[in-house]
């Protein structure tokens, strides 16, 4: 009997109708003889709503930031709602199921709140229920620290839960369901000739996720590569409604690909050179994902991607209070070319020279070229990068 871990994102469970469709799909797969562990995100925009409530509750004292421990306690309830409702819906279809929180599933994490890392999975309770023939429903995005505190795993953390659980259970594969039908060479909503990638190597997928692609979480991809686990990225509605659809396989031996990724949400942090060390300390204390840049004339001290920052405005105020003399610039995005073509020096030079506006700075990596450009020119720059690095044409 094949053991499969499936993860369903928030858009797949946004309301009871969609949740019911997922329950139908899971029940049909279980009745076909598969052993299934299901990892769920919070329904729809539940997490954003809970964070908004936390900010409202904190307004009684100007400048007060909700403690991250309490944020973890709050937002972890979203996945608990999803897991319980999906378990009920599956049981109503005549299939045995049981739900587990992250801590009940044996997801052990670091002590860091709101962006913890999984250090160990002890899936004994989940495995026991699977052996009894039940579908196990696991709350994603959350776990328990070694100090027995509830923690959450940051943006895309349910992907990480699913992959870590699949590895611990020695699952045959891990299926990631969301509102997109796999991975593309660029965002197809913005780049007309973006290519669907039926298969992709771990290295390129990890670089894409690290650059800001939202299809798969970087820690999930990294864990899958370490364990040799096959990931399948699928669109929920295709499989729920038709039982089949397009997908992207992330697996050993997949061909190297080229892709372009945009991250439109980041800060540029400026300040005197003397602020470099205080900035690094403050970023660690505030749990901000600072990427320090090498010293240079008129260049920022570092970049802060905002995808994992729960309250950017509050964090900005706290950082400026912690390190006097800093200034934070908005209105820029990071454009990255990743994969095989990013090694080509001729393409690197041509792509940068072909931008309509010179980038603020260029960051070179082994398999990644990134340019910091204004948001005003970001969409045009994305199309030009795609032409240079993916389609092989210049503009």
The pLDDT profile of the chain, 395 residues, written as one tens digit per residue, is 899 999 999 999 999 999 999 999 999 999 999 999 999 999 999 999 999 999 999 989 887 888 999 999 999 999 999 999 999 999 999 999 999 999 999 999 999 898 899 999 999 999 999 999 999 999 999 999 999 999 999 888 999 999 999 999 999 999 999 999 999 999 999 999 999 999 999 989 999 998 988 889 888 999 999 999 999 999 999 999 999 999 999 998 888 889 999 999 899 999 999 999 999 999 988 888 899 988 766 789 999 998 777 778 888 988 998 999 999 999 999 999 998 777 778 888 899 999 999 999 998 877 899 999 999 999 999 999 999 999 876 54
Q: Dihedral (C-alpha) 217, 199, 11, 68: value to the nearest 10 degrees?
A: 0
Q: What are residue 192's phi and psi, to 5 degrees?
A: -60, -40
Helices (H) and strands (E) in the chain, counts: 12, 22
Query: How many residues are there in the chain?
Result: 395
Structure tokens at 64: 């007060």
Provide the b/e sequence for 137-148 (b: ≥16 CB within 10 Å): bbbbbbbbbeee
Distance of CA 223 to the CA centre of its chain: 13
Q: How far apart are CA 152 and CA 154, in angstroms?
A: 6
CA atoms within 13 A on the CB side of 112: 16
The Cβ-side half-sphere exposure at 374, using a 13 Å CA radius, reads 6
Predicted TM-score of the model (pTM): 0.91
Q: Which residue has the tokens 């409202």?
A: 56
Q: Which domains does the chain have, with CATH numbers?
A: 3-256 (3.40.1160.10), 260-391 (3.30.2130.10)
DSSP string, 68-82: HHHHHHHHHHHHHHH
Burial tier of 15 (Cβ tally within 10 Å: 0-12, 13-18, 19+) = exposed
**19, 43 in Cβ contact below 8 A?**
yes
């Amino acid at each position: 009997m094949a053991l499969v871990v499936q993860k369903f994102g928030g858009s797949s469970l946004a309301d009871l109708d969609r949740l019911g469709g997922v329950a139908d799909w899971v029940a049909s797969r279980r009745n076909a003889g598969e052993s299934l562990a299901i990892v769920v995100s919070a329904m729809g925009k539940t997490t954003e709503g809970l964070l908004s409530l936390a900010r409202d509750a904190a307004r009684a004292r100007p400048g007060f930031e909700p403690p991250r421990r309490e944020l973890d306690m709050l937002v972890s309830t979203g996945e608990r709602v999803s897991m319980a409702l999906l378990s009920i819906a599956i049981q109503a279809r005549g299939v045995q199921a049981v739900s587990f929180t992250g801590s009940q599933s044996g997801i052990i994490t670091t002590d860091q709140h709101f962006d913890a890392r999984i250090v160990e999975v002890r899936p004994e309770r989940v495995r026991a229920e699977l052996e009894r023939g039940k579908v196990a429903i696991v709350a994603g995005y959350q776990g328990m620290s070694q100090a027995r505190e509830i923690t959450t795993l940051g943006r895309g953390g349910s992907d990480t839960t699913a992959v870590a659980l699949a590895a611990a259970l020695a699952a045959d594969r891990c299926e990631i369901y969301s509102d997109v039908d796999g991975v593309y060479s660029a965002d197809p909503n913005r780049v007309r000739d973006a290519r669907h990638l039926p298969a992709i190597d771990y290295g390129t997928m990890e670089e894409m996720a690290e650059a800001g692609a939202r299809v798969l979480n970087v820690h999930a991809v990294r864990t899958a590569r370490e364990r040799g686990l096959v990931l399948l990225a699928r669109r929920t509605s295709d499989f729920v409604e038709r039982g089949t659809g397009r997908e992207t396989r992330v697996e050993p031996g997949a061909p190297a690909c080229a892709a372009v990724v945009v991250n439109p949400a980041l800060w540029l942090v400026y300040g005197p050179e003397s602020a470099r060390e205080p900035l690094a300390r403050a970023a660690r204390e505030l749990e901000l994902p600072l990427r320090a840049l090498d010293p240079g004339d008129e260049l920022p001290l570092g970049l802060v991607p905002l995808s994992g920052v729960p309250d950017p405005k509050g964090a900005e105020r706290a950082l400026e209070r912690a390190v006097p003399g800093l200034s934070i610039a908005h209105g820029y995005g990071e454009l990255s070319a990743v994969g095989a073509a990013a090694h080509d020096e001729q393409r690197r030079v041509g792509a940068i020279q072909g931008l309509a506006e010179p980038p603020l700075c260029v960051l070179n990596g082994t398999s990644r070229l990134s340019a910091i450009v204004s948001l005003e020119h970001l969409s045009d720059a994305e199309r030009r990068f795609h032409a240079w690095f993916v389609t092989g044409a210049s503009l």
